């Protein structure tokens, strides 16, 4: 009699262990995250049982077998699509009246957006000479959006910052010979009233390298950042 009891409990234990999920194994292989930021309704304590899905099983047939509802099966196992139900999957069957608690899903990490780059104060003076028009000075009744530097004709004009030549013009409206360089995205420098031009469109000009020479009129120098003119003297320290 004693040996029969041992055999009975041994068989019972093997049946129970066969229905329990293995360590690290999901109860339901096709479980997906529920809408609203929740993985599933997590049972408070394991009062129910596990059902091993067999061929032909559906959530409806399983719910009828255990006297529960399809909605509770979906909630307890985080099931969004019944078609993902697979043979051999372990499905948790909550006990009737069992309390299910919301289990918040981990919040996805939002990548931090780097702060916008500010134009560095690394401009060099484009031409040696005297500043005769400062940024904001009135020129013919209109605030100037550039500075003007008076220099002897032939004085070298250099790139205020390393950039790519995006414009070379012999007759730029109102300014004659002109060159424009592209620096950081959205940042350009403009050099006009040049006596001569020594660069070609598309060339990369290093900071301080010659791009032309001053003409008989004061050199026009303009800095634009994101389509707006800016005072270049704040970046040149003079």
Q: Secondary structure of 97-134 in the HEC alphabet?
A: CCCEEEEECCCCCCCCCCCCCCCCCCCCCCCCCEEEEC
What pLDDT score does 138 carry? 87
Residues 6 or more apart whose CB falls under 8 angstroms from that of 136 comprise 143, 144, 231
CATH code linked to domain 24-104? 3.10.350.10
Q: How confident is the model at residue 238 (pLDDT cuts 50, 70, 90)?
A: low
Please provide residue 194's backbone torsions phi and psi, each rounded to the nearest 5 degrees: -75, 145
Residue ranges covered by each domain of the chain: 24-104, 130-236
Q: Which of 98-107, 119-128, 137-146 has the highest mean pLDDT?
A: 137-146
Q: How many residues does the chain have?
A: 238
Q: What is the mean pLDDT of the chain?
A: 76
What mean pLDDT is predicted for residues 129-137? 93
- Does residue 51 surpass a pLDDT of 90? no
pLDDT in tens, 62-82: 888 888 888 887 777 777 777
In this predicted structure, the answer to whether residue 118 has a pLDDT above a threshold of 50 is no
Q: What is the pLDDT of residue 91?
A: 80
Domain 130-236 in CATH 3.10.129.10: no
Task: Round to whole Å and give the CA distance between 95 and 130.
Answer: 90
On whether the CB atoms of residues 69 and 76 are closer than 8 A, the answer is: no
| Band of pLDDT at residue 195, cut at 50, 70 and 90 | very high
């Amino acid at each position: 009699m004693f040996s029969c009891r041992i055999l009975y409990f041994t068989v019972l234990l093997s049946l129970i262990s066969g229905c329990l999920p293995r360590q690290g194994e999901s109860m339901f292989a096709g479980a997906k995250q529920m809408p609203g930021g929740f993985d599933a309704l997590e049972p408070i304590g394991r009062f129910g049982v596990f059902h091993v899905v067999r061929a032909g099983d559906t959530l409806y047939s399983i719910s009828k077998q255990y006297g529960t509802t399809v909605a509770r099966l979906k909630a307890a196992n985080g099931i969004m699509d019944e078609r993902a139900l697979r043979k051999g999957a372990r499905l948790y069957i909550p006990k009737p009246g069992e309390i299910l608690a919301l289990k918040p899903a981990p919040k996805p990490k939002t990548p931090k957006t780097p702060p916008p780059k500010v134009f560095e104060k690394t401009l060099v003076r484009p031409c040696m000479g005297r500043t005769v028009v400062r940024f904001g000075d009135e020129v013919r009744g209109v605030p100037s959006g550039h500075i003007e530097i008076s220099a002897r004709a032939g004085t070298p004009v250099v790139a205020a910052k390393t950039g790519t030549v995006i414009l070379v013009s012999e007759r730029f409206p109102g300014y004659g010979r002109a060159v424009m360089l592209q620096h950081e995205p959205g940042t350009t420098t403009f050099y006009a009233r040049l006596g001569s031009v020594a660069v070609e469109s598309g060339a990369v000009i290093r900071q301080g390298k010659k791009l032309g020479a001053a003409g008989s009129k004061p050199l026009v120098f303009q800095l634009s950042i994101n389509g707006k003119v800016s005072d270049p003297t704040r970046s040149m320290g003079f």
